[in-house]
Structure 1
Amino acid sequence: MFVLKHLWAGLYGGVLLVAIGVSTLVWRDDWALARNDALFLIALGTQALFLALRLESREEVAALVGFSALGMGMEWYNTAAGHWTYPDTGLFALGDVPLFVGAMYAAVGVCVLRMIRIFEMRFVPFPPLWPTLGLTLAIYVNFFTQHVWIDLRLGLMVATVLLFGRTWIVFTPAAGRRWRMPMLLSLALSALGVWLAENLGTLTGTWLYDGQETHDPVSLGTLGSWYLFLCVALMVALAALPQATRPEES
């Protein structure tokens, strides 16, 4: 049930990963529709289908839009600065960033939100609001300033340990027994999963970092970036589901 619930929570992202892999095998450069445009239409169509079938809640739809905006902001800035590129951008793009990239960020964020709901998660003890909000904002701002000023990622990761080191995630894989896991361990394992998915994107040439070839693995250094982004995603998800930070009823 633990695995099945994870797969259900990540269904939207799974559809997008399958679309990336299949399109790499079948797409031809001389086709009228650019591959990135097709991926965006698949992402949009999948979302419309989920809404029609009521597979997502209103909170998840709102979070999807929010996560897309957060991700596209970072991507637009970093591609404009030349830190990574997207070959064959297509028509549906913001600058040099295909719009389907926003859907990929949304898939990560919505997966986090869905897992909180599906696993009936509680985060205990949860730190006070203002330090949590301040750290979340600092992490997001650093994604922009790290290329033109001091990179604070290491210090921010230490700050997450200081703030969330005592926080546990209490969850229910199936009816009955409640389980628990350190919140920071969960973030680290989730970052590893996203890093593996990111390697599929570079392997298929969907996106490339500066100086990277399609056969090169993504640097392990990006694990820290994904860890911090997932921390931001989790805080946004908890803002949509504030009951998850309240103590459990005895």
Structure 2
Amino acid sequence: MDHGHRGFTPLEERLDAWAHRRSQALAVDASRLRRGLLEFAVFTVKQAWACVFGAAMLVLLVLAGLLYPDGALLVRGDALVIAAVTVQAAMLVLRLEGGRELWVIMIFHVVGTAMEVFKTHVGSWSYETDGLLRIGGVPLYSGFMYAAVGSYMVRVMRLFDLRFVRYPPIWTTALVAAAIYANFFTHHYLPDARWVLLLLVAWLYAPCVMTFRNRRGGARFRMPILLAFVGVAFFLWIAENVGTWAGAWIYPHQAAGWQLVPLTKFVSWLLLMMISVVLVTFVHRPREPDAASARNEEGERDRLRR
């Protein structure tokens, strides 16, 4: 029995069922190109859906930066907090998001906001100073930006039925994630250990291979997990550039006018992702490919190659 689709929301269930039916229809006489295009289309749509919470937050930040009136009675930061809460509530009410995402989002709120309060205090970056819905110099919508990363991680775990070969022990990843989080604070007073921590991440995860499938019963594809980390961190760096361009927050070098966020922040996002990954593994334990999947994988991939 195929259990890979358990935990889907109703919309995700319909999307996966459509992809499965369409694949069955193409199985007999469609060309390899058409079958490959279907796999790519399903992958793209599911990735976009996994990003839906983060994309909604990014749209809100851009719209607030471009269109929100400066003299409004409700200041921009407070309006963004209300809008973010509204989006989150709507997704739960409409069953576009499950309870597991909500738990991860709450954890990320706490972890992200705590770091934000410290970082703004030491001047690493800054937000607008007005508004009531804030902690110190940090508007509460900032927590939703971290929560969006957690939401994405949980969604891809179930949408693509992720399995892992040679995943490192959870306790080792938790120790490294705790050291990474601590370094975000301590590097202001002690030597920065980010490059040592990056090497530890590479050492831990280098043997690990991630397998995924685009739809139930579909072929499993393989990818080194470090490659997946780098890809996600790159898109987070792109999103950060959009957010700073919209004025949601700024770095000191952007005070006189917007400039590209330096690539060193890409390394920070890569390390921050490790915290995200470990938190998500407490909700979705990494699983190895089961025996049935291993037997069916080669046959399905051979069919796609024909």
| Structure 1 stretches lacking a partner, 5+ long | none
Between 85-94 and 133-142, the greater mean CA deviation after superposition: 85-94
Given the alignment, which residue of 118, 139, 149 partners 2:159?
118
Taking the aligned partners of 1:79 and 1:136, their CA distance within structure 2 comes to 22
Distance of 1:12 and 1:123 partners within structure 2: 25
Distance in 2, matches of 1:83 and 1:249, equals 46
Runs (5+) with no aligned partner, structure 2: 1-41, 292-306
Task: Provide the C-alpha distance between the structure 1 equivalents of 2:203 and 2:190, rounded to a whole number of angstroms.
Answer: 24
Q: 2:50 aligns with which of 1, 4, 9?
A: 9
Residue 62 (structure 1) aligned to one of 103, 107, 122: 103
Q: Which consecutive aligned stretches of 4+ in structure 1 deviate over 6 angstroms post-superposition?
A: none
Match of 2:250 in 1: 208
Structure 2 partner of 1:217: 260
Provide the TM-score with structure 1 as the length reference: 0.96
Deviation at 1:89, TM superposition (A): 4.1
* 2:271 aligned to which of 217, 228, 231: 228
Larger mean CA deviation between 40-49 and 166-175 belongs to 166-175
What's the C-alpha RMSD, in Å, of the aligned pairs? 1.1
Q: Answer yes or no: is the 8 Å Cα contact 2:164–2:289 preserved in 1.
A: no
Aligned counterparts of 2:62 and 2:222: Cα–Cα separation in 1 = 34
Amino acid at match of 1:233: S
Following the alignment from structure 2 to structure 1, what is the Cα–Cα distance between the partners of residues 138 and 244? 15
Q: Distance in 2 between matches of 1:129 and 1:21?
A: 37
Deviation, 1:235, is: 1.0
Q: Does structure 2 retain, via aligned residues, the 8 Å contact 1:2–1:173?
A: yes
Q: Summarize deviations over 1:3-32 as a string: whole Å, max 9, x none.
A: 111111111111111111112221121111
Aligned residue pairs total: 248
The one of 77, 80, 87 aligned to 2:118: 77
Secondary structure of the structure 1 residue equivalent to 2:73: coil
Report if aligned partners of 1:113, 1:234 keep a CA contact under 8 Å in 2.
no
The answer to whether 1:94 aligns with 2:135 is yes
* Rounded Cα–Cα distance in structure 2 between residues aligned with 1:31 and 1:21: 17
* Residue 152 to residue 89, structure 1, CA distance change in 2 (3 Å): farther
Measured in 2, the distance between the counterparts of 1:7 and 1:89 equals 34
The equivalent residue for 1:178 is: 220
Identity over the aligned pairs, expressed in percent?
Answer: 37
Q: Which has the larger radius of gyration?
A: 2
Q: Do the aligned partners of 1:34 and 1:88 also contact (CA within 8 Å) in 2?
A: no
Q: Decide which moves more: 215-224 or 53-62.
A: 53-62
Question: What letter corresponds to residue 235 of structure 1 in structure 2?
Answer: V
